[in-house]
Structure 1
């Protein structure tokens, strides 16, 4: 997961923003705003009692000058500070006329952007969840394509995994141009050998620390690029992929090298748990298989059948290698131990073209072992913290369920996620045992996975964006 998994409060940096002053509006104007909010479907979610100190923010807004403003937990947390239908902040009472004009223009632009979307889940009970998740992805995407994991200090970086999922979600929501910019930023950060650091500064100046290389990044980048290409109109698809040819070729070279063309497991590397590993994990190798399958699809788009066959065969070999090493223990975190792991979802569609029956059996059994008191799932059965639910892992299982045809399970997981949002509708990173949101909010990876799940549900229902393409 993005950020620091120690569970402690984030370090406050110089960029901390003071709490916004409440805007005082005449009663008549306030009434118009309330009606507009209800009409747009962005009704304030009400004051949540005793929000925990471990919830670092209830949302992120956009100021008139385009700056991002984290909204802290406090006595005003239940009040909607945004222009209706946007994440643009209403001006403070001290705002100048010029600032008010800029804020209104920014709000109008954001409404137009949302109106242009092919919003997954439109017409369902999840329409508001979808709209706020998409707006939060926009808030977390900076000019130049840097899609940060969150806006609290330790999350204000670009992880290849989170950014690739965010690009996929933007693309299936009808904003392919934004998705292409995100993938272009990811490409610019890639090492010449095709590997990625764990995370990057959003200004493109490299890694912020010495966490080092995380081998799954190449797989996630390929998977995200293929998802973007799939959502691109057919006449533009080859051009979009060709523009990212360096990302494609370098990532494939890295994956083929570390897996010996799919014949060997890769060396140990951190995965989405963000901890040092001495043994290869399912969470590291599963995205590699997904990336090789995605590469085959991308080379097919480019009219390169030779490379398409090579990468497909490598993906199939690596799937067999993983089966030989992981299936005997029921696809645990490590080849022969480690307990159930949420990475099982990465061995299912839409990350893989199809799932092995043994994977399906392990996937269906895993939630009982990953369940936490708050109603969601943990990263792994042996995850050190036993009471907190994690929204990305819960959303991963929702997505895999939707893509595998289990609508009821996907809807159940989405319903839980929907009910655990902050008072401003943002999806948090974590949920405490008593059901209260915690951690950073919004979290890009969770928002992206929710949108992708709704997209899959639209497709199986024959409605929404998926049916119109």
Structure 2
């Protein structure tokens, strides 16, 4: 995931991490909450709300005391703008049991999108220094959530930014600097789930978009993103197996075996591309420029669906023959129109193995047994349950996420064994997943 640590002792060990001292106590990992949340100062720059400061108790005043009346005025104007952004959204009413969480999630997504120093449409994964980058996966989820909440122009700007970042061969790096330069912060290898996520998010926006007079179809504006992503997925199919070649995925570690996360997102992307082509939403010139015969998309998607079932079914582990992986949710709606056979049953079976002490889940049954719940994977369970019509289950997961927000209402990346929020807050990926789930009640 964002930063991986290895358990070196079952007793007490101290490690120095990017967020401060980390301690192991028995089998439970202890790590800090980096901040209660994030706001923008009068210049539009992100400023972390310190741990211990509650909602409404802290303002990012940076100037001399005699200038602070002006800063307060400007911050009040910014707050009014944020409220207007919320009011424009398709959100549940105030008395909805998860309405406050949905509004906080939308506010945080808005704050993390295009702050000072970032390009328009650049979605930062989080507020802490090691998270202030653009992951294509997280940005795609943000675009989908913004589209579903009615913020279509903002969603389009996110996808246009991804189109600018994407390589000519359709590839995406693991993450990018937010300034729009296309530069990467480190030597991580490319993560080949990016094209699939971008295609899925584009389809969500196209389905939600209502073009006004003289407005172009968004799929025309991001036609290159669609065509290049589809070309990348087709190119990476191994003729010998009919499956994608191995690549790192959302677990963010080197891989020499094909993971379910890459196979599932390749299927998701090809099915989304085939649907966009079937509906005539992408210009012929975009397909031609990327070297894609659009007639190949539907057959390729159908063949890959069969091969995913043969290779990973019926349990859908991270590797063929392995233990359950949260990526099984990628084989279900809303990522696919039709669930892959056996994937919903596998999702439900896997929950016990992925469960962690505080009540959330880990990325997979093979993940380290450190007591930490991960909010994105827990929110994926909520979304999959909602789409399957398991509304009581979805509400239980949302209740859990709601109970483990920070003092400012932000959704953290992690929850420790004792229920304490930890690591970065807010996390854009979790905020987007909550919006996709709550909005569809």
1:120 CA displacement: 4.3
Which residue number in structure 2 is paired with residue 106 of structure 1?
Answer: 78
Which residue number in structure 1 is paired with residue 290 of structure 2?
Answer: none
- The alignment status of 1:212 with 2:189, answered yes or no, reads yes
- The alignment status of 1:311 with 2:318, answered yes or no, reads no
Counting only pairs closer than 5 Å after superposition, residues 46-61 of structure 1 correspond to structure 2 as: 54-61=32-39
- The alignment status of 1:381 with 2:365, answered yes or no, reads yes
Secondary structure at the residue paired with 2:217? Answer: helix
**Offset from partner CA, 1:75-133 (integer Å, 9 cap, x none):** xx235236xxxxx7578892433323322221221111111111146541101000000
Aligned pair partner of 2:320 in 335, 358, 380 = 335
Query: Is contact 2:244-2:266 (8 Å) kept?
Result: no
Question: What TM-score does the superposition give when structure 2 sets the normalisation length?
Answer: 0.87
Query: Is contact 2:206-2:217 (8 Å) kept?
Result: no
Which residue number in structure 2 is paired with residue 5 of structure 1?
Answer: 4
Aligned pair partner of 1:436 in 417, 420, 439 = 420
**In 1: Cα distance, 2:421 partner to 2:148 partner:** 27
Which residue number in structure 1 is paired with residue 440 of structure 2?
Answer: 456
Which residue number in structure 2 is paired with residue 421 of structure 1?
Answer: 405
Query: Is contact 1:58-1:441 (8 Å) kept?
Result: yes
Secondary structure at the residue paired with 1:69? Answer: strand
Which residue number in structure 1 is paired with residue 198 of structure 2?
Answer: 221
1:186 CA displacement: 0.7
**In 1: Cα distance, 2:217 partner to 2:57 partner:** 41
**In 2: Cα distance, 1:175 partner to 1:453 partner:** 16
RMSD: 2.4
Which residue number in structure 2 is paired with residue 85 of structure 1?
Answer: none
**In 2: Cα distance, 1:446 partner to 1:373 partner:** 19
Which residue number in structure 2 is paired with residue 179 of structure 1?
Answer: 155
Query: Is contact 1:262-1:321 (8 Å) kept?
Result: no
1:385 CA displacement: 3.6
Number of aligned residue pairs: give it.
Answer: 409
Secondary structure at the residue paired with 1:456? Answer: coil
Counting only pairs closer than 5 Å after superposition, residues 392-407 of structure 1 correspond to structure 2 as: 392-407=376-391
**In 1: Cα distance, 2:93 partner to 2:298 partner:** 32
**Offset from partner CA, 1:318-373 (integer Å, 9 cap, x none):** 11111111115x21110122x11000111111111111342121111111111000
Which residue number in structure 1 is paired with residue 123 of structure 2?
Answer: 147
1:310 CA displacement: 3.1
Structure 2 segments unaligned to the other structure (5+ residues): 7-14, 21-29, 288-292
Query: Is contact 1:292-1:314 (8 Å) kept?
Result: yes
1:295 CA displacement: 1.1
Secondary structure at the residue paired with 1:265? Answer: coil
Aligned pair partner of 2:394 in 404, 410, 416 = 410
Which residue number in structure 1 is paired with residue 218 of structure 2?
Answer: 240
**In 2: Cα distance, 1:289 partner to 1:120 partner:** 32
Query: Is contact 2:19-2:34 (8 Å) kept?
Result: no
1:298 CA displacement: 2.0
**In 2: Cα distance, 1:246 partner to 1:176 partner:** 19
**In 2: Cα distance, 1:415 partner to 1:132 partner:** 15
Which residue number in structure 2 is paired with residue 270 of structure 1?
Answer: 248
Secondary structure at the residue paired with 1:96? Answer: helix
Which residue number in structure 1 is paired with residue 107 of structure 2?
Answer: 135
- The alignment status of 1:158 with 2:134, answered yes or no, reads yes
Aligned pair partner of 2:344 in 346, 356, 360 = 360
Query: Is contact 2:381-2:394 (8 Å) kept?
Result: yes
**In 2: Cα distance, 1:101 partner to 1:165 partner:** 33
**In 1: Cα distance, 2:255 partner to 2:135 partner:** 18
1:275 CA displacement: 0.8
1:386 CA displacement: 3.2
- After superposition, the Cα gap between the structure-2 partners of 1:228 and 1:89, relative to the gap in structure 1 and judged at 3 Å, is farther
Query: Is contact 1:429-1:443 (8 Å) kept?
Result: yes
**In 1: Cα distance, 2:125 partner to 2:277 partner:** 29
Question: What TM-score does the superposition give when structure 1 sets the normalisation length?
Answer: 0.82
Structure 1 segments unaligned to the other structure (5+ residues): 14-51, 83-87, 458-469
Which residue number in structure 2 is paired with residue 252 of structure 1?
Answer: 230
